[in-house]
Structure 1
Amino acid sequence: MIVEKRTYWIRPGSMGEFLRLYESEGLPLQGPTLGNLLGYFMTEVGELNRVIQLWGYASFEDRQTRKAALAGRPEWRSFLGKAGPLVERQHSELLTPAPFSPIK
């Protein structure tokens, strides 16, 4: 298994709008296509105005296939057109579990 950690820096004052839009439009598209949402978080201390998504995949190839399927959906591109202006930047990391990790 690999875990993709995606961090989005949201424009100050836009967090509520971003979360509402993601919950109503983004998640219903991503969830069934990407398949394994491990967690969705907001920062409360430290560097603020961030959301962090953790997605699990069977392999790098599984991730590539699922991401391509999502990118090919016109309704996903429409969502990105609405959500994009609310995001200042983003960062993605692919993580592999240590032998003793509870997530394998």
Structure 2
Amino acid sequence: MRHSIVCAALCSALLVIPGCGTSPPAPISPVVHTETVEAKIEVPVSCIDSMPGTPDFLSDTELLTPPNGSAVDRVWRDHLQRRQWEGKLEALLVACVGVKK
């Protein structure tokens, strides 16, 4: 019995001794994986720089007081200005719709 106690004590001592002689494991450096990914993201941008300015249309009082011409001539001038302005606006809208397709 005495031999078994001594044997157990020696075995325990032998197990501890090699553990003390080894150094702790070196820290593991992190693995860095860099990958560039290209993604296409739709970003809303304005398709026109600016809106055309609104022409000066005649008011009702200006139409009723004829200075140097009849009211019909001034209404016709107003109509032509409006048509030209609407043409510019329509061209801008058509260009914007064409860009988005």
TM-score (norm 2): 0.23
Q: Which has the larger radius of gyration?
A: 2
Larger RCO, structure (CA 8 Å, separation 6 or more): 1
TM-score (norm 1): 0.23
